[in-house]
């Protein structure tokens, strides 16, 4: 099921043991693990804008009216995968599945412009290949204390009493409780004294088309001795990220691979920076990819990958709309 690149995870261990700073990107299935030092980032012109690490300079762009068109799959096509997910949920194979789709987009913005002008906690640009602007932390490690911030549950901020609706929605609450429980269990594999520090925090996500509220929680623990200075082993133990997979993990991964009709690639993987002592990492969501990159074509073919958590309480219309709501750029 998972073709884990053990050699690359071992390399992450070795670098962290040597306290060598590095940046890394890991795809959803843990097959492709990219590792870069400062020189390689510079040579490949990879740009990073993280809370604790930035290698960018401010760029001025000519003001222009942004053109943005999305061509999501039809509800009937979306329903095919949704139905597969629901059948597995009814059988008890899973109780939360993060079901995602690929949507073709057209815009007059380049990937570079999207990277520089969007506003998000975590941003990365791999030139001509992909960019993402993620609001979601995966794990942070500071002084051998580990934190994770699962984000699950969104609502249109324009709705009346949106925050209360989000916090009290039966389906959204069940989804959030499940992910918090899953991430708490995941953290317990690599940390002691795991506890829930903050529950159902509401974050405001501003976009050009539709503003959203998103629900997050914070879980923390103390890194177990065997995982201290072994970043690769620690990450391998807790990947794929529970918030973009579901629960239970092994069977839910099978459901996702059956239901989704495209390759996630780096979308819903993770990216992170290790400074020699501490780690900050994010879940790769809000992701735009140039599918023509591999074919060396001059004209980009851009796709936006998005989705959401499905439970037995999910309604087709709501989940289809949520998938479309997340196709945005936070430029405002």
Query: What is the total residue count of the chain?
Result: 332
Q: Which two tokens stand for residue 85?
A: 């997910």
Q: Which 8-state DSSP code applies to residue 26? A: E
Query: What is the C-alpha separation between 163 and 255, in angstroms, rounded?
Result: 31
Whether 310 contacts 85, CB under 8 Å: yes
Over residues 71-122, the pLDDT tens digits come to 999 999 999 999 999 999 999 999 999 999 999 999 999 999 999 999 999 9
User: What local confidence, expressed as pLDDT, does residue 133 receive?
Assistant: 96
User: What local confidence, expressed as pLDDT, does residue 209 receive?
Assistant: 63
Q: Which two tokens stand for residue 217?
A: 């929680």
Over residues 182-197, the pLDDT tens digits come to 999 999 999 999 999 9
**Per-residue confidence band for 27, with pLDDT thresholds at 50, 70 and 90:** very high
End-to-end CA, the chain: 41
Long-range pairs for 79-82: beta carbons < 8 A, 24 or more residues apart: 79/316, 79/320, 80/261, 81/259, 81/260, 81/261, 82/259, 82/310, 82/314, 82/316, 82/319, 82/320
Residue 153 has pLDDT above 90, yes or no: no
* Calculated CA dihedral for residues 40, 293, 296, 33, nearest 10 degrees: 40
Averaged over 43-63, what is the pLDDT? 90
Query: What is the C-alpha separation between 239 and 138, in angstroms, rounded?
Result: 10
Residue 86, strand partner residues: none
CB atoms within 10 A of CB 295: 8
Averaged over 304-321, what is the pLDDT? 93
Query: What is the C-alpha separation between 266 and 264, in angstroms, rounded?
Result: 6
Whether 78 contacts 320, CB under 8 Å: yes
Query: What is the C-alpha separation between 156 and 158, in angstroms, rounded?
Result: 5
Helices (H), 51-169: 75-91, 111-117, 162-168
Q: Which 8-state DSSP code applies to residue 234? A: H
Instruction: For residue 68, count CB atoms less than 10 angstroms from its CB and return exposed for 0-12, middle for 13-18, buried for 19 or more.
Output: middle
Assign domain 6-63+70-147+222-317 to its CATH architecture: 4-Layer Sandwich (3.60)
Residue 169 has pLDDT above 80, yes or no: no
Averaged over 157-176, what is the pLDDT? 80
What is the average pLDDT score of the chain? 92
Residue 198 has pLDDT above 90, yes or no: no
User: What local confidence, expressed as pLDDT, does residue 63 receive?
Assistant: 78
Domain residues of the chain, as ranges? 6-63+70-147+222-317
Residue 172 has pLDDT above 80, yes or no: no
Return left, alpha or beta for 47; rule: phi > 0 is left, psi -120 to 50 is alpha, else beta: beta
Over residues 205-219, the pLDDT tens digits come to 766 666 778 878 899
Residue 53 has pLDDT above 80, yes or no: yes
Whether 171 contacts 311, CB under 8 Å: yes
Over residues 121-150, the pLDDT tens digits come to 999 999 999 999 998 999 999 999 999 988
Over residues 282-312, the pLDDT tens digits come to 999 999 999 988 766 667 899 999 999 999 8
| Whole-number Cα distances in Å, 89 to 38, 101, 186, 314 | 45, 19, 22, 11
Helices (H), the chain: 6-17, 38-44, 75-91, 111-117, 162-168, 170-190, 231-238, 249-259, 316-325
């Amino acid at each position: 099921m998972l073709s884990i690149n053990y050699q690359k995870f071992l390399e992450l261990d070795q670098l962290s043991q040597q306290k060598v700073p590095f940046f890394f990107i890991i795809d959803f299935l843990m097959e492709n693990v990219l590792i870069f030092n400062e020189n390689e980032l510079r040579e490949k012109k990879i740009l990073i804008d993280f809370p604790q690490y930035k290698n960018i300079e401010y760029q001025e762009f000519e003001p222009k009216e942004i053109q943005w068109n999305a061509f999501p799959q039809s509800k009937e096509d979306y329903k095919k995968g949704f139905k597969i997910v629901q059948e597995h949920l009814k059988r008890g194979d899973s109780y939360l599945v993060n079901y995602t789709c690929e949507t073709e987009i057209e815009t007059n913005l380049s990937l570079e412009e999207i990277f520089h002008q969007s506003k998000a906690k975590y941003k990365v640009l791999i030139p001509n290949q992909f960019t993402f602007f993620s609001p979601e932390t995966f794990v942070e490690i500071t002084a051998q204390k580990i934190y994770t911030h699962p984000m699950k549950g969104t609502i249109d901020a324009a709705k009346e009493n949106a925050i209360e609706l989000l916090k009290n929605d039966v389906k959204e609450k069940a989804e959030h409780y499940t992910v918090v429980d899953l991430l708490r269990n995941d953290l317990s594999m690599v940390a002691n004294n795991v506890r829930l520090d903050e529950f159902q925090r509401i974050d405001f996500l501003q976009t050009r088309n539709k503003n959203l509220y998103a629900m997050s929680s914070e879980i923390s623990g103390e890194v177990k001795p065997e995982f201290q200075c072994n970043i690769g082993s620690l990450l391998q133990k807790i990947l794929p990220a529970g918030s973009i997979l579901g629960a239970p993990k092994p069977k839910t991964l099978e459901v996702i691979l059956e239901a989704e009709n495209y390759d996630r690639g780096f979308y819903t993987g993770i990216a992170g920076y290790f400074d020699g002592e501490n780690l900050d990492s994010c879940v790769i969501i809000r992701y735009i990819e140039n599918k023509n990159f591999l074919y060396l074509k001059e004209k980009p073919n851009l796709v936006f990958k998005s989705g959401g958590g499905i439970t037995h309480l999910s309604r087709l219309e709501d989940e289809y709309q949520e998938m479309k709501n997340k196709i945005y750029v936070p430029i405002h």
